[in-house]
Amino acid sequence: MGQVQKTNRDSVATFLFFAFITGILFSPVLENISVLSVLNVDNTITFLCLVGIILFQLKQPKALMKKEYLIIALLLIIICLGIFGNMVSGIHGVKFIVLDIWSISKCFIAYFFGRLAFKKGFFSSQIDRLALYGKWVIGILFVLLLVNLVYPIWPSTEVRMGIKTQYLVFPHATYLSATAFFCMLFLGLKNVRHNIPFLAMGSILIFFAARNKGLIFIAIYIFMLLFQHYAKTKRFKISYLILPVVVLIAAFWEVIDTRLLSSTTSARSLLYQAAFKIADMYAPFGAGFASFGSGSSVKNYSSLYDMLRFYDYYGFTRDNPQYLNDSYIAMFLAQFGYIGTLCFAGILVIFLLMINQLSGSIQVFTLVLFVYAVTSLFTELYLTTNLGIITFFFIGIIFGDEGTRSDLRKEELWKKPFH
């Protein structure tokens, strides 16, 4: 009887795991359907995750690591800075402030859901299923791509890299590229050589999505797998990244400076220039929630946009605000100031330190996923989207996996379960 109950629990956990992955990965597709758009899928799933965390901790509480307490403390400091910033800047509106707090907290809720809701060793037990899942998703999307190239069911007028950008069932090419990228990472968890045809299909999908970042990270992922194989090491030290990062920044500094810092025509550069101005104006707290660069600031059309005369620029107006929330880092700098940005940087460093203690293909999977997410923070509101949610869900469930965190110290938060 006990074995049957255990099997049933495992089946429910597996269903929950893959339902979460599918729901989050394809939430932009569902929300693009007018009938389903009212569900606000990623927010609904994240709210259910929050409820799940509470229920699981009440029923069978788990301990957290010391570093995780520090992550929570830094997040609370950031929220307090945002509220103080609202007092200083005079930008109010409880609804918009609450929405912004929820927006920046979603990825952390997903992290702790993955970390606490599943038993130890669960992720390792799902690797074969994840690889099969990745094959199915990539295979189906690849067939849709071939059909769309012959007969454009999902037409596109956008041209990048000399080719017509493909969206397929997604509302934007970024989601197609990211979904293919996630599934390629699943395939790299085990028997990479056997999955080469599907890895090639995924690369082709990303190529036709015309997203350079996806192709760059595929190259990084393959390099790390090869390094791990030929260097005969099970652990990739984070320090190995320092030199490549410095070299890449130096090599592409002119592009970075032009597109992000000094351009007078680039939308993203204007966002960063304005973010630094706001951080200086409202130092040390920043301008607070719903003031700049976030979804709520766009819906409310923050008074800072009028003060900065953003209405003079295409894509920054009330009627056409498509570029206003185009960078997570710019948003963070303006809303939470230099102190808040340093706190956020501290959170990222803590995650890196924890990833550094993993090993094997799971470490490579986690590290590439994390670096992909961090890089995306400069070009989009990554952590507030479904992609940020699923990224931190995976990181959380991996840290909760017994086989990959045996050397991670933890501190007893709950002395004994509630009865």
* Most confident among 165-169, 235-239, 251-255 (mean pLDDT): 165-169
Q: What digits encode the pLDDT tens for the residues 243-261?
A: 777 776 776 667 666 666 6
Question: Strands (DSSP E) along 71-138, which ranges?
Answer: none
Report the distance separating Cα 309 and Cα 90, nearest Å. 18
Give CA 29 to chain center in angstroms: 17
* Most confident among 37-41, 119-123, 398-402 (mean pLDDT): 119-123
Q: 377, 290 in Cβ contact below 8 A?
A: no
Backbone angles phi, psi at 20, to 5 degrees: -60, -50
Give CA 237 to chain center in angstroms: 22
Residue 263: pLDDT band with limits 50, 70, 90: low
Q: ∠ CA(36), CA(41), CA(42), 5° rounding?
A: 155
Task: Give the C-alpha distances (Å, rounded to integers) separating 251 from 161, 254, 256.
Answer: 21, 8, 10
> Which amino acid appears at position 46 of this protein?
T
Residue 317: pLDDT band with limits 50, 70, 90: confident
Which residue do the tokens 């690849």 mark? 142
Between 267 and 357, residue with greater pLDDT: 357
The per-residue pLDDT for 72 is 95
Among 193-197, 263-267, 365-369, the range scoring the smallest mean pLDDT is 263-267
Report the distance separating Cα 189 and Cα 127, nearest Å. 7
The per-residue pLDDT for 414 is 39
Q: Is the pLDDT of residue 239 over 60?
A: yes
Structure tokens at 255: 């592009």
The per-residue pLDDT for 411 is 42
Q: 396, 111 in Cβ contact below 8 A?
A: yes
Report the distance separating Cα 69 and Cα 74, nearest Å. 9
Report the distance separating Cα 366 and Cα 355, nearest Å. 7
> Across all residues in the chain, what is the average pLDDT?
84
Q: What digits encode the pLDDT tens for the residues 332-383?
A: 999 999 999 999 999 999 999 999 888 778 888 898 899 889 888 888 888 8
Q: Which residues contact 284 (CB under 8 A, 6 or more apart)?
A: 337, 338, 339
Q: Is the pLDDT of residue 407 over 90?
A: no
The per-residue pLDDT for 405 is 45
The per-residue pLDDT for 260 is 67
Query: What is the number of residues in the chain?
Result: 419
Task: Give the C-alpha distances (Å, rounded to integers) separating 287 from 291, 405, 406.
Answer: 6, 39, 42
Structure tokens at 242: 């320092």
Among 14-23, 58-67, 244-253, 319-328, the range scoring the smallest mean pLDDT is 244-253
Cβ-based neighbour number of residue 83 at 10 Å = 13
Question: Strands (DSSP E) along 143-222, which ranges?
Answer: 159-160, 163-164
Maximum Cα–Cα distance across the chain:
70
The per-residue pLDDT for 103 is 93
Return the percentage of the chain with pLDDT > 90, whole number: 40
Q: With CA atoms as reference, report the closest residue to 29 among 138, 170, 156, 132.
A: 170
Q: Is the pLDDT of residue 4 over 80?
A: no
Sign of CA dihedral 359, 365, 369, 371: positive
Structure tokens at 382: 């990554």
Q: What digits encode the pLDDT tens for the residues 149-165?
A: 998 898 887 777 677 88
Cβ-based neighbour number of residue 339 at 10 Å = 16
The per-residue pLDDT for 410 is 43
